[in-house]
């Protein structure tokens, strides 16, 4: 059974409490919290202050996806804001190993996200040090985009590397996940499905989360 991580980016920000409550009573496993700086990605979302309001509503695991440059400057702030895991982008981190150590030293799980053009084999020398790989299935920056089909090949390749090395690194897939493509993503080897629009724009978000979970 996959872990389901609804992305709050698609929530109603005029009534965040209501959407957090909805996730809390749902079978969702994680809260996925998208941070965009307008530099690494062409959009700005929100920062550690809003993150703290979100994490304060829940006992569930809060998975923070940093689509920002210089994530080392903000790791402590997101720890203080209640993040359980912090995921940084491979493409934004020339000193990735140092970034990962910092996150772990702060007591959080550490993840690395890769853009659609970044091959999975580039993670070879960091894989054993991290808890999560976030395979981007859209170009980061916006919700509601279409799933890039080549992601399936990347997930299979990554899963085979992880299994061969007997690692416990989880594969999270992020962007454009729907009820129609989720099964193929799980079958390819994903452990965690992020879904924004598919959950929050559904007529019945609770039922949608349950359907994704039970695929």
Write out the catalytic residue numbers.
34, 174
Candidates 85, 89, 144, 138; CA nearest to 112 is 89
* 5 in Cβ contact with 29 (< 8 Å): yes
**Choice between 60 and 65, CB closer to Zn ion:** 65
d(CA 177, CA 136): 11
Please, which residue, 2 or 176, has the CB nearer to ligand DX5? 176
96's tokens: 């990735």
Q: Which of 82, 174, 189, 190 binds Zn ion (CB under 5 A)?
A: 174
Measured over all CA atoms, what is the biggest interatomic distance in the chain, rounded to whole angstroms?
46
Q: Based on the shown chain and the rule CB under 5 A, indicate whether residue 65 belongs to the binding site for Zn ion.
A: yes
Q: Is 68 in the site for ligand DX5 (CB under 6 A)?
A: no
Q: 150 Cβ partners below 8 Å, 6+ apart? A: 116
Q: Which stretch binds Zn ion (CB under 5 A): 14-22, 29-37, 114-122, 207-215?
A: 29-37
- H/E element, 86: strand 85-89
Q: Out of 2, 4, 7, 182, which residue is the one contacting ligand DX5 (CB under 6 A)?
A: 7
Site for ligand DX5 in 110-169 (CB under 6 A): 138, 140-145
Kind plus residue range of the DSSP H or E element containing 102: helix 96-105
Whole-angstrom Cα Rg for the chain: 16
Picking from 171, 173, 177, 170, the residue whose alpha carbon sits closest to that of residue 200 is 177
When the beta carbons of 97 and 201 are compared against ligand DX5, the nearer one is 201
Q: Which stretch binds ligand DX5 (CB under 6 A): 93-101, 120-128, 163-171, 190-198?
A: 190-198
Q: Does 99 bind ligand DX5 (CB under 6 A)?
A: no
Residue with tokens 């702030």: 77
Figure out which of the listed residues 19, 29, 34, 91 binds Zn ion, where binding follows CB under 5 A.
34
Cα 87 off chain centre by: 7
Answer yes or no whether residue 33 interacts with ligand DX5 by CB under 6 A.
no
> In the complex with ligand DX5, which residue's Cβ is closer, 123 or 177?
177
Residue nearest to ligand DX5 (CB): 196
Q: With contacts defined by CB under 5 A, how many residues of the chain interact with Zn ion?
A: 3
By CB under 6 A, residue 63 contacts ligand DX5: no
Q: Which residues bind Zn ion (CB under 5 A)?
A: 34, 65, 174
């Amino acid at each position: 059974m996959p872990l389901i991580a609804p992305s709050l980016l698609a929530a109603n920000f005029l009534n965040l409490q209501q959407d957090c409550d909805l996730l809390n009573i749902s079978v969702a496993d994680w809260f996925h919290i998208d941070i965009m700086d307008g530099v690494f990605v062409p959009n700005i979302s929100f920062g550690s202050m809003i993150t703290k309001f979100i994490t304060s509503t829940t006992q569930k695991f809060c998975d923070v996806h940093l689509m920002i440059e210089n994530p080392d400057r903000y790791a402590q702030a997101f720890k203080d804001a209640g993040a359980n895991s912090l995921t940084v982008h491979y493409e934004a981190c020339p000193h990735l190993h140092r970034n990962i150590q910092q996150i772990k030293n702060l007591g959080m799980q550490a993840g690395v996200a890769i853009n659609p053009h970044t091959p999975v084999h580039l993670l070879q020398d960091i894989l054993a040090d991290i808890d999560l790989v976030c395979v981007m299935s859209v170009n980061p920056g916006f919700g509601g985009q279409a799933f890039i089909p080549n992601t399936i090949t990347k997930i299979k390749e990554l899963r085979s590397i992880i299994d061969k090395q007997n690692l416990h690194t989880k594969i999270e897939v992020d962007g454009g996940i729907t009820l129609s493509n989720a099964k193929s993503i799980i079958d390819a080897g994903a452990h965690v499905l992020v879904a924004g629009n598919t959950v929050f724009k559904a007529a019945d978000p609770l039922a949608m989360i349950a359907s994704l979970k039970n695929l």
